[in-house]
Structure 1
């Protein structure tokens, strides 16, 4: 289960406090939260903060500007380490590259730094790093890319132009390291989630087949993250359900659910429920007698009933029965995703 403050897919809860992601935002926050003389003396009558005097504001601006310059300078230094040592086979150099990538990932956690990563030449190294012979380097690279592209249109565009989607799909599908496959899928999800051109290329490059195979893999994290990404496509303006219907995704998900019960089934069940909602063709697929899906749902409901740890899966099971076999086909059915 996800920790408090996070959703199951690792995204932040909407109830968490949002902090500024730029130096200007930090400065504004500092100004807004600076105690006034009245507050410091216990005078509760004055509730509005007093703006900083020009001298102190100028001082803070210089401090934040210096911090910002230091981070850009640090990124340049770390990228130089990667550039000079990425082809070395010395263990010390390999460790230095891995550490540099980890530090770059931390630095790129703000939109300003993520944009500057490209401006200082960092993205030029990414194609080679995604194909690096060391799995640890590939893994850290995809983790870094996830930070670089999430909500950063400039980097999304650059990654698309350099063939990043194709490389990510290949890593998800074929990499020898399960960890790399999971990290590549995470980066792919961050890249495609809010970018229509990336979604289009994802579909053109048969990305849904890659997700299907990932859900059929023996890597549990990969199965779960694939199901999450599949569901994310259902929330996008473009209707991808018809494509998935024609691919036989309903049959694939039902087949996965009919394997020995495991924790992944909650996510497959939720994905299937999202897929059939408001799509008569998918509903008709579920009704095919040779699948025995109604009987399966009846048995699965009985198996999960009264078990708190399977409460959500049990709810999805009941909703699928209503949508597919009780005539309740509309989107009024609640899906907690």
Structure 2
């Protein structure tokens, strides 16, 4: 398997010297992995375990591990394979990758988590059983020392973990997951994509839990509501503004009453985005306008 991975990378890069060094892989193995008439290669569970063995092997070079983790992610895009992660006892090594030094592997592991649980209650249930798994992802999303790619993938994973899953959303709140959102939205240096992922996470969370007085109180204490409204004043990206209006409309539809400070900021922000109304979601725009 490792020889095949070396050969694959060398061919992709067109490195003749590396191709010669890697040698030609076993044709039967090629047929097994890539199919063909009469192919009777390893089944997907076997391939998943083999790829994970390569990733976890400390003696394997990073380029090879990246090919293996990319292969693994392609495999778990299949729902049955995603559900098989638990049966194959692969959640623990995936979570272990989150502790690796290589950003490329960490971000890929986060992507695997997000992809495997997306619209997949079974995988969400299984992930929740792994102690400290959710907390690890929250910590990566909240850590400013992490790369942009790691943080965006962590937010992606969190959104898919909590979406339409009440127990995951409850655990997320208990772990103070909401606290990661205001610093991102308030950071003038944060890229638009990171802020959009933060808003997407908050939206996913709110669709998965009861918007109660207690929740709104917590969101006020940590500054989540103000930070969200402030985006209307500080941001110019149309997609981000649209997502903010959608989230505010979600809160309004749930019966939230904005306090005086929030209302003043909302009025100012709404005036700023008003010229863009023809390019924004009409329903969300009108829902927010109704409370002003």
Q: Does TM-score exceed 0.5, indicating one fold?
A: yes
Residue 5 (structure 2) aligns with: none
Residue 79 (structure 1) aligns with: 52
Relative CO higher for 1 or 2, CA cutoff 8 Å, sep ≥ 6?
2
Residue 311 (structure 1) aligns with: 280
Note if 1:214 corresponds to 2:187. Answer: no
State the Cα deviation string for residues 130-151 of structure 1 (Å, max 9, x = none).
Answer: 0110100101111111233331
- Aligned positions, number: 248
State the Cα deviation string for residues 280-303 of structure 1 (Å, max 9, x = none).
Answer: 43366643xxx35335424531x2
Label 1:282 to 1:99 Cα distance change in 2 as closer, same or farther (>3 A).
same
Counterpart of 1:131 in 2: which secondary structure?
Answer: coil
Unmatched 5+ residue regions in structure 2? 1-36
**Larger Cα Rg: Structure 1 or Structure 2?**
1
Residue 228 (structure 2) aligns with: 253
Residue 145 (structure 1) aligns with: 113
1:132 to 100, 106, 110: 100
Label 1:164 to 1:242 Cα distance change in 2 as closer, same or farther (>3 A).
same
CA contact (8 A) 1:297 1:317 kept: no
Q: For residues 179 and 170 of structure 1, what CA distance do their matches in structure 2 show?
A: 14
> Greater CA deviation, 224-233 or 234-243?
234-243
Counterpart of 1:279 in 2: which secondary structure?
Answer: coil
Q: For residues 172 and 216 of structure 1, what CA distance do their matches in structure 2 show?
A: 15
CA contact (8 A) 1:109 1:148 kept: yes
Residue 154 (structure 2) aligns with: 184
2:138 to 166, 169, 177: 169
Q: For residues 185 and 210 of structure 2, what CA distance do their matches in structure 1 show?
A: 23
Residue 201 (structure 2) aligns with: 229
Counterpart of 2:258 in 1: which secondary structure?
Answer: helix
Q: Cα distance, 1:101 vs. partner?
A: 0.8
Q: Cα distance, 1:111 vs. partner?
A: 2.5
Residue 108 (structure 1) aligns with: 76
Unmatched 5+ residue regions in structure 1? 1-62, 326-337
